[in-house]
Structure 1
Amino acid sequence: MPTDTSASASRNTTAITGNAIVRVGPVNPTVAKALAEEFDSLILPAAGAERDTFLQVHADAIRIAVCSGKIGVDTELMSRLPNLEAVINFGVGYDATDFSQAAQRNIPISNTPEVLTDCVADTALGLYLSTLRSLCAAERFVRNGTWGKGENFPLATRASGKRVGILGLGRIGQAIATRLEAFGCEIHYHNRSQKPGVSYTFHGSAAELAAATDVLIVAAAGGPESANLVDGEVLSKVGTQGFLINIARGSVVDEAALVHALQNGLIAGAGLDVFAKEPTVPQALLALDNVVLLPHLGSGTHETRADMAAMTLDNLRSYLADGSLVTPIS
């Protein structure tokens, strides 16, 4: 009979108390309050001597880590937590956590899927319209008094009826596609594998997708496998009349190549909600008028953040109760 190597099989069934739960980095205020008041959890200090001292005292006792998609349980931290059993992640993205090491050690990870799909897709649509129609630049044109001086704002690009490529046709990618269909857009996509039952046109690579479309929308998951998926070659396929929209992760796009393409007119423009080293945005991007810049606010609504907080705490309570996660990452 094969041996069960699942996390549930090897889980320590003794009760998990406050000093076995650690909060890693800043988290949603509702989650932070519950961790402190309901669970009496530990808080991991920032990297440095204080963290080293903290881990010397607490590392062996820690069994659950609660983190955000931006600051996860990275390789070094996970390796210093020998009895870690589960990672509870606030956010759909989990690339800040060492997924490979977690898999090797049978440490399950949860995230908060589906509840943020609509708001992220809405953000993508907003970026799409703002970028092609130059809405943010037009708003600045009014605010700085240029329009009042009698000047005309430059013509922009029609947003309806475009050929749009979705790079990553997961839940969010499909929600974006549905919204763009209402604008009469022709949807194309590239995914790790072709989606069954999808009528959109499939392309075998990101470069092929970019070459076949007018706008490339990046909705792929982050992590090592997708790092710099949109590189200089893909951007050259986007073309001088094409646009890039990124609501996925900054790591999916080669940021230096993107800056070069925007500065030299190799693509027409870009709309970005994510960046390689957040919250740092390259100075070169700040100086350009053909790029729309947002502060990673894709899921940033009161309603969605409340749903994400509830799902995060549901995962934590479920694991404490019986070692299962409500929304585990498969």
Structure 2
Amino acid sequence: MKPVLLVLNLQVPAHLEQMVQTFPDFDVIYAPEADQAEAAIAAHGARVQCVCTIGATGLSAAQMQRMPKLSLVCAMGAGYENIDVAYAKAHGIAVGNGAGTNDECVADHAMGLLIAAVRGIVKLDKATRAGIWRSAMPLPANVSGKRLGVVGLGTIGAKIAKRAAAFDMSIGYHNRQPRDGVSHQYFGDLLALAAWADVLLVATPGGAGTKHLINAEVLSALGEKGVLVNIARGSVVDTQALAEAVREGRVAGAGLDVYESEPLPPPELMDLDSVVLTPHVGGWSPEAVQNSVDRFIANMRSHLDGKPLVSPI
């Protein structure tokens, strides 16, 4: 019987067919829902050699233990927070991701959320449809000239900063350590960055180490004219603290592509028209998704040929 390539994340038919055509010696089993994944592992776990997943879905040690022939796990996209990388590496399982495949798309979307939140574009759209003219509304703020604080100046954060610089925004950032060759102002303390910034943009990895990194104290430091943008992971922001800060006027608004409740919308924020919400599509475009599929295929092909992964973790 053929070995199995188990695909645990959402795919369009054309991309599944691309995998089937590229790896004819494998049975490609598509199981994007949790119950489907459980059934697939129960039925085919002994034959699974490669797994395609995403960071939010991941792959646990318990699941890997049920796949004795597993030799490769790859996340499409950069995130891999729910893959048990330590277990995989301890058991000789290669782990890769799609780093860089959707960075441009995420950076574009981040700027869209930033502009929409700062300018109040969604509120303005609703008001216009209701017949309210500009003279009855407060003046929307400028984007240019504002201070952008980036939490996590990795590859995506740097691309967002490049776009923000074109809007004449001043850029500051917070990482564990300063980045070499970066001219933006470094803040070793997150609270200091939040107090300095007009817009605080979250681009740090998810996981236990960053859970609720953006909390009530950080939001208070951001201040009543400040805007929060999150294109990272929902777990990084304390949703309840954000809702309270917006309701109480301690923060002006937010633009969020990710939330703790996903795929359900965040109930705490649903009635707040100063919060712009999108359904975790920051990295989704025809170009970006195709790049991610191509990278997964390149990683798997390299692995099967006994070569290093194109983008190993």
Q: Using structure 2 for the length normalisation, give the TM-score.
A: 0.91
Any stretches of 5+ residues in structure 1 without a counterpart? Answer: 1-16
1:34 aligns with 2:21: no
Match of 1:206 among 161, 185, 190: 190
Which residue is 1:266 aligned to?
Answer: 250
Letter in structure 2 aligned against 1:184: D
Which residue is 2:3 aligned to?
Answer: 19
Which residue is 2:86 aligned to?
Answer: 100
Higher deviation after alignment, 74-83 or 185-194: 74-83
Letter in structure 2 aligned against 1:287: D
Is the partner of 1:58 in helix, strand or coil? helix
Is the partner of 2:272 in helix, strand or coil? coil
Q: In the comparison of the two structures, how many residue pairs are matched? A: 310
Aligned-CA RMSD value:
2.2
> 2: CA distance between counterparts of 1:56 and 1:126?
43
Distance 1:111-1:140 versus aligned 2 partners, 3 A rule: same
Whether the 8 Å contact between 2:197 and 2:222 is mirrored in structure 1 is: yes
Whether the 8 Å contact between 1:18 and 1:41 is mirrored in structure 2 is: no
> 2: CA distance between counterparts of 1:269 and 1:71?
29
Letter in structure 2 aligned against 1:134: G
Match of 1:229 among 213, 216, 221: 213
Match runs of 1:122-271 below 5 Å: 122-147=108-133, 152-271=136-255
> 2: CA distance between counterparts of 1:179 and 1:194?
20
Is the partner of 2:157 in helix, strand or coil? helix
Distance 1:151-1:184 versus aligned 2 partners, 3 A rule: closer
- How far apart are residue 174 of structure 1 and its match? 0.6
Is the partner of 2:59 in helix, strand or coil? coil
Which residue is 1:65 aligned to?
Answer: 51
- How far apart are residue 282 of structure 1 and its match? 1.9
Is the partner of 1:109 in helix, strand or coil? strand
- How far apart are residue 260 of structure 1 and its match? 1.5
Distance 1:184-1:44 versus aligned 2 partners, 3 A rule: closer
Distance 1:104-1:174 versus aligned 2 partners, 3 A rule: same
Higher deviation after alignment, 90-99 or 193-202: 90-99
> 2: CA distance between counterparts of 1:213 and 1:28?
40
Distance 1:124-1:54 versus aligned 2 partners, 3 A rule: closer
Whether the 8 Å contact between 2:200 and 2:227 is mirrored in structure 1 is: yes
> 1: CA distance between counterparts of 2:252 and 2:115?
14
Q: Which runs of 4+ in 1 moved over 6 A?
A: none
> 1: CA distance between counterparts of 2:88 and 2:76?
17
Which residue is 2:75 aligned to?
Answer: 89
- How far apart are residue 44 of structure 1 and its match? 4.2
Which residue is 1:80 aligned to?
Answer: 66
- How far apart are residue 27 of structure 1 and its match? 3.0
> 2: CA distance between counterparts of 1:252 and 1:173?
15
> 2: CA distance between counterparts of 1:203 and 1:278?
31
1:36-79 CA deviation, whole Å, 9 max, x = no partner?
4544323348545x765643443233221111333221343233
Which residue is 1:284 aligned to?
Answer: 268
Letter in structure 2 aligned against 1:163: R
Q: Using structure 1 for the length normalisation, give the TM-score.
A: 0.86
> 1: CA distance between counterparts of 2:112 and 2:32?
37
> 2: CA distance between counterparts of 1:87 and 1:75?
12
